[in-house]
Amino acid sequence: MEEILRIAIQTKGRLNEGSVKLMEEAGINLVIGRRNLVSPAMNFPVEVLYLRDDDIPQTVAYGAADVGIVGENEVLERGEDVAIVKRLGFSRCRLSLAIPQQMEYHGKEWFSGRKIATSYPAILRKWLAENGLTSEIHVINGSVEISPGIGLSDAIFDIVSSGSTLVSNRLKEVETVVTSEAVLIANHALSPARREILDELIFRLESVQRSEGKKYILLNAPNHKIGEISAILPGMKSPTVMPLAEPGWSSVHSVISEKDFWEVIGKLKRAGAEGILVVPIEKMIF
């Protein structure tokens, strides 16, 4: 029987869209429409298992799924024995301590003897222990941010992204404990055949990630300017240079980063480049 890699992703919520997009970018076409619990892929030996994010680390640790896409915060909190095989760069956030805005804050001692509401007791307990603090942890699931306002706690320990939830609840972030992003986790005991499918998946994801923020650039230049122009282009290797039909002229191709795009274009124009064409890159395979 052919081996299939089972991937657990979030059914709905903040991680779902990024997870589905990642599968698509890796060329994995899921049979969607109906959100079945398990959905096979049409063209790659994987199947997707839809779960609540809270259940993903354990499902992977126990082997009911081979790999999973979940927030690093959830992996840390659950403490399940799984391997983080790839950081995925989306759903970035941090887990922070926040206190009422009007309170003065001079350091971590503030939390000593205070009551902190959170959905992440394990991570908080560890941080308190590392800092030699004794606080009371009040575990609540959902709407943690309202608890100081209704007198349920003195502070909160929760996920922060833009910070606007804190502001609208008159809270201020005073300590960042961990940062998080979506990660690909795997069971420790994958069969060699499944490990091979996972390696192919990682290879594909890396090809997509590598191309992010990169553009392909083509330009025309007089032959005597090619040395100068090549020095401006920080491509992967030296640029490709091809003769044009017009004598004395060549076409130069390379890859540039979006971030230094305008600076590079300015330099190229000054160096005599003409007919500059910039096109998006979908994937980069090495």
| Shortest Å, Cβ 77 to ligand PRT | 9
Q: Does residue 77 touch Zn ion according to CB under 5 A?
A: no
Among 53, 72, 77, 175, binds Zn ion (CB under 5 A): 53
250 contact, one of Zn ion, ligand PRT, none, CB 5-8 Å limit per kind = none
What residues line the site for ligand PRT (CB under 6 A)?
10, 13-15, 52-54, 71, 73-74, 91, 93, 145, 158-165, 180
Question: Nearest approach, Cβ of 166 to ligand PRT (angstroms)?
Answer: 6
CB 251 within 8 A of CB 277: no
User: Which residue lies nearest ligand PRT, judged by its C-beta?
Assistant: 71
CB of 51 to ligand PRT, least distance (A): 7
**Tokens 């274009």 found at:** 265
Interface with Zn ion: number of residues (CB under 5 A): 2
Nearest to ligand PRT of 15, 177 (CB atom): 15
DSSP 190-249: --HHHHHHHHHHHHHHHHHHHHTTEEEEEEEEEGGGHHHHHHH---SSSPEEEE-SSTTE
Cβ 218 vs Cβ 253: under 8 Å: yes
By a kind-dependent CB cut-off of 5 to 8 A, residue 180 interacts, out of Zn ion, ligand PRT, none, with ligand PRT
Residue 72 binding Zn ion, by CB under 5 A:
no
Q: In degrees to the nearest 10, what's the CA dihedral of 73, 74, 75, 79?
A: 110
**Burial grade of 157 (CB within 10 A; 0-12, 13-18, 19 or more):** buried
Angstrom distance (rounded) from CA 179 to CA 177:
7
The structure tokens listed for 282 are 């979908």
The window from 21-29, 53-61, 107-115, 256-264 that contacts Zn ion (CB under 5 A) reads: 53-61
In angstroms, rounded to a whole number, what is the distance separating the alpha carbons of residues 21 and 30? 11
Q: In this complex, which beta carbon is closest to ligand PRT, that of residue 82 or of residue 226?
A: 82
Positive or negative, the CA dihedral 67, 71, 73, 74 is negative
160 makes contact, choosing from ligand PRT, Zn ion, none, with CB < 5 to 8 Å by partner type, with ligand PRT
Among 3, 54, 206, 228, binds Zn ion (CB under 5 A): 54
121 vs 222 by CB, closer to ligand PRT: 121
Residues binding Zn ion (CB under 5 A): 53-54
